[in-house]
Amino acid sequence: MTGPDARDDAADLFAQRYGKHPRGAWRAPGRVNLIGEHTDYNDGFVLPFAIGPGVSAAAARRDDGRLALTSRQAPGADVSLPLDELRPGSVDGWAAYPAGVAWALRAAGYPIGGVSLAFDSDLPLGAGLSSSAALECAVALALTELHGLSVPRPQLADIARHAENDFVGAPTGIMDQSAALLCQAGHALLLDCRSGIGTAVPLDPRAAGLCLLVIDTRVRHALTDGGYAARRQACEEAAAVLGVRSLRDITDSSELAGIDPLLRRRARHVVTENSRVLAAAALLRSGQLARTGPLLTASHASLRDDFEVSWPAADATVEAAIEAGACGARMTGGGFGGSVIALVHAERDRQVRAAVASRFTQQGWPAPGFIDAVPSAGARRVR
């Protein structure tokens, strides 16, 4: 389901499955990373923004010490788990994400008891829009508020990341959870992933006569496969060879001379991407959104050539969008599948969409999906 009514369907589903009304409903958005890919786990800089589509969670406490889960996107796959028996690796599939949040909250010393949860989403899964973090953050808000717990949002983001890293087994950084919990409408979030400090940066494409077009290539990815973990390991190896805490500490690509060629390419992407993020944030602050276009395109080239996480449909999408007049375009997300973001003048929106769709038809690929990505508010209670 899509549209604003999606947030109410979790409550309807709750009533259908559990025979009573929920005590509340919470919604966490997906995110698009404007620029700053694979920099978060290197203590670097990222510039994501929240979008309208997201995940809704309706919830109520229960007194049997169990976590009951149901989702409109997983019919027939309801789960009931004893909280005291949750361990990393003990839950498979979609249920691992909410179960991991309950486990991580309890591991952090928060007394989470039994809860029934029902979920609905209008985020496409595997599209690089962080549906997993949206699910985690909706659950984190629901569990803490149901139990009367006050947890600062940066800490809650770290707990949700802990769930994804150590319970689910996806070696992601802090960006996705931070974006879901900390973003503001009309802004991107410049996040320093070393300090954890996030700063709101104005991002209002419509006011500038532009749009941020997200193009779902329909190629699906999974961050628990080996490619993402291999890139992270290469970055850690490069930092060790260079004698630094993380690649954040390298600010000039010339410092990478002499190391293994593969590690040099991986590290060069991170070093140059951090520079691009800071340059993009400066342009946004000065009201020059259109001038970020070349930075987006350079980011894509780096992800394609140095980090090698792009895929053919993303490369074709970027090429077609730019040929049709986009200011810039890049793959967004962890890579190996998902979406492309294109910065487009409003009057060229239809032209860019048509060019990308035509390229997909020529290649014999399924038609791409299009989302007008509007910088939106972070996670919140909706009823």
Q: For the residues of 255-312, what is the DSSP string, one character each?
A: GGTTS-HHHHHHHHHHHHHHHHHHHHHHHHHTT-GGGGHHHHHHHHHHHHHTS----H
CA torsion angle 183 375 315 174 (round to 10): 0
Angle of helix 261-285 versus helix 293-305 axis, rounded to 10 = 170
| In the block, residue with structure tokens 């979008």 | 51
Asked if 372 contacts 263 with a C-beta cutoff of 8 angstroms, the reply is: no
Q: For the residues of 157-198, what is the DSSP string, one character each?
A: HHHHHHIIIIII-----SHHHHHHHH--TTEEEEEETTT--E
101-136 as b/e: b if 16+ CB within 10 A: bbbbbbeeebebbbbbbbbbbbbbebbbbbbbbbbb
Q: Which residue from 101, 70, 77 is spatially nearest to 88, judged by alpha carbons?
A: 101
Asked if 38 contacts 266 with a C-beta cutoff of 8 angstroms, the reply is: no
Asked if 60 contacts 20 with a C-beta cutoff of 8 angstroms, the reply is: yes
Indicate which residues carry an active-site annotation. 176
DSSP bridge pairs for 187: 202
